[in-house]
Amino acid sequence: MLIVQKFGGSSLASIHHIQGVAKKIREGLEDGQQLVIVVSAMGDTTDDLVEKAYAVTAQPTPRELDALLATGEMQSAALLAMCLESEGIRAQSFTGAQAGLATTADYGRARILHIDPTPLRHALEHGTTPVVTGFQGVAPDHSIATLGRGGSDLTAIALAGALDADRCEIYSDVAGVFTADPRIIPSAVPLRTLSFDEMMELASQGAQVLQTQAVAYAKSHDVVIHARSTFSDSGGTIISNRTPGVKPAVTAVAINRHIAKVGLVGVPDAPGVAALLFSRLSQRGINVDLVFQALSHDHLNDIAFTVEDKDAAAAEEVARACLPDVNGRDVVVDRSVAKVSAVGSGMLGRPGVAAGVFQALAGAGINIQMIGTSEVKISCIVARDKAEHALRRIHQAFLLDEGQAVIED
């Protein structure tokens, strides 16, 4: 059985932690598994490197910033390979380039173009356990390019797909995926299975267990993911397309505090206004999440949308630049909002789920500012200082804290 195992920064935070990971790898090898290991940077190394870069210059060039940040994973890979070798296990560290991972040159957010797994296959055939740096690949001009935060998940899943591995195990400091963040809701329970669609929605709505892109890649390449804890033997969560036939209406809830709401006020109710605004946002590389348009008096509309809070200033700039072109009145920005989401593939074709979410918030006296839906999620924008309370009320409404989620309407 060939398994790709990824260990996150908390699993490798110290030499003692690295020795513990080496012991876990040894156990897998002794069970007859073939393993390819993918590592993140140790602990807070990436944050420390970012801080050093900005201590040198207020505007580090993207290429050099990626070259710097990639050293964190190189350090982890080399140390873990040394640790394995010291215990008599043949191991070799690989950078993303050495592992055959080719990317675009979009520094800080590169996309994987293709993978040549030949070097890793060659190592496995010769009894060597590859230890691969996550988060990075090589651009067409041979520069190092990183895949963005959480990119080690993507590295591991992409390698599992390229190697046709039996599964990809993602190890972190949490025992899989829970019905909610247990730091906010201690009564949250672990989920044994999730569909790719559910996990993608949870990741995109604020759950931090897996990177959204990584789950999307796993779905497109049918890579089974097993999210587990490095520090316990609990079962974890299996993420795949092979989930039980009967699903609860809501599987889990998530919260995202890192958003802002931007509103274009008093624009004409005419074709082309939204097209102009959102095309300009796209040109600036600003990703828009929820959109709401309200018809006001005198054939004028208000258009509101949400973006990541780091993009709020740029989004406001774009919206204000559009004002004279669309004869709008004003632009308003609200950074005191958050998004709470209920996710579950069981809500598809089942009436009453949205009503249950809205009733839960109404009962708590929480006002809903915007609503977004898909086949497997219902999201509400609420005041940020009410968001955790909103999350708890939805969690309770669907009995998630009792481990017996609502299945019928």
Q: Domain ranges in the chain?
A: 2-173, 259-334, 337-402
Report the percent of the chain where pLDDT is more than 90. Answer: 79
Architecture per CATH, domain 259-334, reads as 2-Layer Sandwich (3.30)
What's the mean pLDDT in 20-29?
96
3-state secondary structure 253-306: EEEECCEEEEEEEEEECCCCHHHHHHHHHHHCCCCEEEEEEEECHHHEEEEEEE
Single out the residue of 361, 354, 392 nearest to residue 375, CA to CA: 354
337-402 has which CATH code?
Answer: 3.30.2130.10
Which residue has better confidence, 243 or 396? 396
Residues 6+ away with beta carbon under 8 Å from 324? none
Q: HSE on the CB side for 231, CA within 13 Å?
A: 11
Residues 143-164: pLDDT tens digits? 999 998 889 999 999 999 999 9
Amino acid in the structure at residue 391: L
Query: Which of the listed ranges 84-93, 172-181, 200-209 does the model predict with the highest average pLDDT?
Result: 84-93
Residues 88-135: pLDDT tens digits? 999 999 999 999 999 999 999 999 999 999 999 999 999 999 999 999
Superfamily of 2-173 according to CATH = Acetylglutamate kinase-like (3.40.1160.10)
Single out the residue of 326, 334, 261 nearest to residue 300, CA to CA: 326
What pLDDT does residue 408 have?
Answer: 38
Query: Cα angle vertex 215, ends 209, 216, to 5°?
Result: 150
What pLDDT does residue 85 have?
Answer: 97
Is residue 371 pLDDT above 90, yes or no? yes
Domains 2-173 and 259-334 share a fold: no
pTM (2 decimals)? 0.85
What pLDDT does residue 129 have?
Answer: 98
Report how far residue 226's alpha carbon sits from residue 236's, in angstroms, rounded to the nearest whole number: 7
What pLDDT does residue 208 have?
Answer: 72
Residues 340-363: pLDDT tens digits? 999 998 787 778 899 999 999 999
Q: In the predicted model, what is the mean pLDDT of the chain?
A: 92
Is residue 243 pLDDT above 80, yes or no? no
Which residue has better confidence, 271 or 169? 169
What's the mean pLDDT in 57-76?
97
Residues 306-342: pLDDT tens digits? 999 999 999 999 999 999 998 899 999 999 999 999 9
Is residue 49 pLDDT above 80, yes or no? yes
What's the mean pLDDT in 279-289?
93
Is residue 233 pLDDT above 90, yes or no? no
Query: Which of the listed ranges 81-90, 182-191, 198-207 does the model predict with the highest average pLDDT?
Result: 81-90
H or E, element range at 56 = helix 45-56
pLDDT band at 409 (very low <50, low <70, confident <90, very high): very low
